[in-house]
C-alpha cells in the first residue's frame, strides 16, 4: 500500500494516520498451520523525523489453529506491533521512500507473517491427548496409562528412596 506523504514531508514532526485492510491472499501463514479468518486490519501513523519517516502501526487479525496439545480447533485474536523507518536515501538493508509516497506494504506483510505464532493452545491448562490411546485428557481420564514408565529408566526407580533414607 502506497501512502502519499507530501503533506508531512516538509514539516518536522508532522504526523499522518492511516488504516489499511490487508487481504488475506497477500499473507501466506501456512507455515504455522493456521488459517486467517478474514483480512488483517492495520492502523498506524507515519511521522516525519527529518531524514526519515517512521511508521508505527498495529495489525489486528484472527487466526484459526488446531490446539497443539489436544488438536481441537481454536481461534486466536492477535495484535502485532509494526515498526519501520524509511530513509530518503537508498541505503543497503534499510527501507526507503522516493518522492511523495511511502510503500508500507512489504514491511506490513513481512512483520505480520513473522509475527503469527507457530502454535496455539485452546487454554493454558490443556492436558492434551493420551499418547497410548489418543483420548482427549480434557474430557475423560485415560484408563490405558501405564504408570510403570519407560523401562530404560527402571534402574533409577529406587534412587529417590535411597537418597531420602
Q: What string of pLDDT tens digits covers the 165 residues of the chain? A: 888 888 888 889 999 999 999 988 888 888 888 899 988 999 999 999 988 899 999 999 999 999 999 999 999 999 999 999 988 877 777 787 777 888 898 899 999 999 999 999 999 999 999 988 889 999 998 887 555 667 787 777 777 666 665
Report in angstroms the alpha-carbon separations of 124 from 70, 75, 127, 138, 152.
12, 14, 9, 12, 31
**Residue pointed to by grid coordinates 511508521:** 55
Q: Where are the beta strands (DSSP E) in 67-154?
A: 73-87, 95-96, 101-103
Question: If you compute the radius of gyration of the chain from its CA atoms, what whole number of angstroms results?
Answer: 25
Amino acid at each position: 500500500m502506497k501512502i502519499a506523504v507530501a503533506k508531512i514531508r516538509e514539516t518536522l514532526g508532522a504526523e499522518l494516520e492511516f488504516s489499511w485492510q490487508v487481504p488475506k491472499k497477500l499473507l501466506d501463514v501456512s507455515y504455522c498451520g493456521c488459517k486467517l479468518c478474514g483480512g488483517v486490519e492495520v492502523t498506524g501513523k507515519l511521522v516525519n523525523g527529518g531524514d526519515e519517516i517512521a511508521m508505527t502501526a498495529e495489525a489486528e487479525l484472527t487466526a484459526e489453529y488446531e490446539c497443539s496439545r489436544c488438536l481441537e480447533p481454536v481461534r486466536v485474536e492477535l495484535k502485532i506491533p509494526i515498526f519501520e523507518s524509511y530513509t530518503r536515501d537508498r541505503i543497503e538493508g534499510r527501507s526507503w521512500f522516493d518522492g511523495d509516497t511511502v510503500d508500507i506494504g512489504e514491511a506490513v506483510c513481512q512483520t505480520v507473517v513473522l509475527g503469527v505464532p507457530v502454535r496455539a493452545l485452546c487454554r493454558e491448562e490443556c492436558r492434551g491427548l493420551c499418547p497410548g490411546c489418543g483420548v482427549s485428557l480434557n474430557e475423560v481420564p485415560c484408563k490405558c496409562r501405564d504408570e510403570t514408565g519407560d523401562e530404560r529408566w527402571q534402574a533409577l526407580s529406587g534412587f529417590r528412596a535411597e537418597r531420602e533414607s
